[in-house]
Amino acid sequence: MIAYSSVSYFQVRLPSGDNQTSLLNIVISIRDLLDCVVEVNMSSVHVIVDSVGINDLITSLQSSPNALISNQIVQLLSSGNQNVVGQIITAISLQFNQMNSENVDQAISSGIPAATILVSSLGSSSLQGNSTSFNESALTEYNKILNAQANLRDYLMTFTTNLLITTSNSIKLQSSALAQITQSTNQLTRAALSIASNRCYQLSLALSSMATQIPYEDAQVAANQLIQCASNVLTAVNGPLQERTSTLDLDYSRANVISSDYDTDLESAWSNTNLFGGGDEASVEKNRNIYYQKQLANEISTQVTSIISLVTSSLNIHLNIGQNSIINTSQTYMSLETISTQSLSNRIVKQIGNAQFHIPSEFVLNTNDNSSISLRSKMDVLASFGSYSNTNLSRSISLSIIDQNGNEISFKANENNSIKLIIPRDPNVLIPSMYLQNVTSINSTINNLLFNYHYINITSSLPISVHFEIHSLNKSLAYLFIYKFDQTPQLNSSINLIDGWTIFCPFNLTNDDIYRYFIDNQQTPTHQSLIFGIRELNSTEMNNYCLNNSSINTSLPITDESINFTSNYELRIYTSGCYYLDENNNWKSDGLIVGSLTNHYETECLSTHLTTFAGSFIVLPTPINWSYVFANADFMKNKTVYLTMIFTSVIYIILMIYARFKDKKDFEKLGVTPLADNNKSDHYYYQILVFTGQRTNAGTDSKVYFVLSGDNDQTQIRLFSDPHRKIFQRGGINSFIIAVPKSLGLLNYIRIWHDNIGEGSSASWYLKYIIVRDLQSLDKFYFICQQWFAVEKDDGRIERTLPIASEAEKQEFSYVLSKKAYHSVSDGHLWFSIFSRPPSNKFTRVQRCTCCFV
Query: Do 375 and 226 reside in the same domain of the chain?
Result: no
Buried b (16+ CB within 10 A) or exposed e, 94-121: bbbbebbeebbeebbebbbebbbbbbbe
Per-residue pLDDT, averaged over 547-559, amounts to 72
Residue 628 confidence (pLDDT): 55
Are 786 and 757 spatial neighbours (Cβ–Cβ below 8 Å)?
A: no
Residue 39 has phi, psi (to 5 degrees) of -105, 135
Query: Do 97 and 213 reside in the same domain of the chain?
Result: yes
Q: What's the structural domain count of the chain?
A: 5
Residue 61 confidence (pLDDT): 76
With pLDDT > 70 as the criterion, what percentage of the chain qualifies? 87
Q: In 3D, which of 247, 271, 277 has the Cα closest to residue 259?
A: 271
Residue 690 confidence (pLDDT): 92
Residue 275 confidence (pLDDT): 63
What is the per-residue pLDDT across 708-746, written as a single tens digit (0 to 9) for each? 999 999 999 999 998 888 889 888 888 899 999 999 999
Q: Tell me how far apart the 2 most distant CA atoms of the chain are, in Å.
A: 104
Are 522 and 463 spatial neighbours (Cβ–Cβ below 8 Å)?
A: yes
CA distances from 614 to 396, 417, 563, 577, 595 (A): 5, 20, 42, 8, 14
Q: For residue 254, is pLDDT > 80?
A: yes
Degrees to nearest 5, angle at CA 625 with 621 and 627: 175
Amino acid at 152: L
Query: Do 483 and 510 reside in the same domain of the chain?
Result: yes
826 found inside a domain = yes
Residue 824 confidence (pLDDT): 47
The region that residue 513 occupies, defined by phi over 0 for left and psi between -120 and 50 for alpha, beta otherwise, is left
Residue 208 confidence (pLDDT): 93
- Chain length of the chain: 854
Burial class (CB in 10 A: 0-12, 13-18, 19+), 241: buried
DSSP 635-672: GGGGHHHHHHHHHHHHHHHHHHHHHHHHHHHHHHH--E
CA distances from 762 to 608, 702, 730, 796 (A): 72, 7, 10, 15
Residue 265 confidence (pLDDT): 53
Residue 817 confidence (pLDDT): 44
What is the layout of strands, in order, in the sheet containing 704-710?
718-719, 704-710, 747-754, 799-803
Q: For residue 550, is pLDDT > 60?
A: no
Q: Where are the alpha helices (DSSP H) in 670-812?
A: 807-810
Q: Which band of pLDDT confidence, cut at 50, 70 and 90, is reported for residue 36?
A: confident
Are 154 and 191 spatial neighbours (Cβ–Cβ below 8 Å)?
A: yes
Residue 210 confidence (pLDDT): 92
600 found inside a domain = no
Residue 849 confidence (pLDDT): 80
Q: In 3D, which of 854, 827, 844 has the Cα closest to residue 658?
A: 844
With pLDDT > 90 as the criterion, what percentage of the chain qualifies? 45
Query: Do 325 and 297 reside in the same domain of the chain?
Result: no
Distance CA 373, CA 405 (A): 10
CA distances from 554 to 501, 509, 532, 545 (A): 11, 19, 20, 9
Distance CA 181, CA 329 (A): 15
Residue 418 confidence (pLDDT): 94
Q: In 3D, which of 575, 429, 577, 432 has the Cα closest to residue 116?
A: 429
Query: Do 207 and 276 reside in the same domain of the chain?
Result: yes
Please give the helix or strand (H or E) that residue 252 lies within, else none.
Answer: helix 249-255
What is the per-residue pLDDT across 759-799, written as a single tens digit (0 to 9) for each? 888 999 999 989 999 998 888 999 999 899 999 988 899 99
Q: Which of 302, 337, 367 is the last residue of a domain?
A: 302
Q: For residue 7, is pLDDT > 80?
A: no
Q: Which band of pLDDT confidence, cut at 50, 70 and 90, is reported for residue 368?
A: confident
Is the torsion defined by CA of 610, 614, 619, 625 positive or negative?
negative
Are 693 and 766 spatial neighbours (Cβ–Cβ below 8 Å)?
A: yes
Query: For the ranges 219-228, 637-646, 734-743, which has the lowest average pLDDT?
Result: 637-646
Query: Do 497 and 399 reside in the same domain of the chain?
Result: no
Query: Do 249 and 352 reside in the same domain of the chain?
Result: no
Q: Quick one: the chain helix, strand, coil %, rounded to 5?
A: 35, 25, 40
Buried b (16+ CB within 10 A) or exposed e, 589-600: bebbbbbeebee
Burial class (CB in 10 A: 0-12, 13-18, 19+), 322: exposed
Pairing of strands 733-740, 672-674: parallel
Distance CA 150, CA 628 (A): 52
Distance CA 421, CA 579 (A): 12
Per-residue pLDDT, averaged over 603-617, amounts to 94
Residue 244 has phi, psi (to 5 degrees) of -105, -15
Residue 261 confidence (pLDDT): 53
2 found inside a domain = no
Query: Do 50 and 87 reside in the same domain of the chain?
Result: yes
598 found inside a domain = no
Domain of 581? Answer: 435-589+615-624
689 found inside a domain = yes
Q: For residue 590, is pLDDT > 80?
A: yes
Highest mean pLDDT among 78-87, 581-590, 739-748, 818-827: 739-748
Highest mean pLDDT among 69-78, 389-398, 569-578, 771-780: 569-578
**Rounded mean pLDDT of the chain?**
85
Is the torsion defined by CA of 287, 293, 298, 299 positive or negative?
positive
Q: Which band of pLDDT confidence, cut at 50, 70 and 90, is reported for residue 825?
A: very low
681: DSSP letter: T
The region that residue 697 occupies, defined by phi over 0 for left and psi between -120 and 50 for alpha, beta otherwise, is left
CATH code assigned at 752: 2.60.60.20
Q: How far from chain centre, in Å, is Cα 789?
A: 49
DSSP 537-599: --HHHHHHHSSGGGTT--S-----SPP--SS-EEEEEEEEEEEEE-TTS-EE-TTEEE-TT--
Q: For residue 670, is pLDDT > 70?
A: no
What is the per-residue pLDDT across 308-354, written as a single tens digit (0 to 9) for each? 999 999 999 898 888 899 999 888 999 999 998 888 999 999 998 89
Query: For the ranges 93-102, 211-220, 665-674, which has the lowest average pLDDT?
Result: 665-674
What is the per-residue pLDDT across 489-501, written as a single tens digit (0 to 9) for each? 999 989 999 999 9
17 found inside a domain = no
Cross-strand pairs, 365: 411
278 found inside a domain = yes
Query: Do 648 and 675 reside in the same domain of the chain?
Result: no
Query: Do 788 and 825 reside in the same domain of the chain?
Result: no
Is the torsion defined by CA of 450, 451, 453, 459 positive or negative?
negative
Distance CA 338, CA 341 (A): 9
655 found inside a domain = yes
Query: Do 218 and 278 reside in the same domain of the chain?
Result: yes
Residue 501 confidence (pLDDT): 94
Query: Do 620 and 638 reside in the same domain of the chain?
Result: no
Q: In 3D, which of 739, 738, 828, 753 has the Cα closest to residue 789?
A: 753
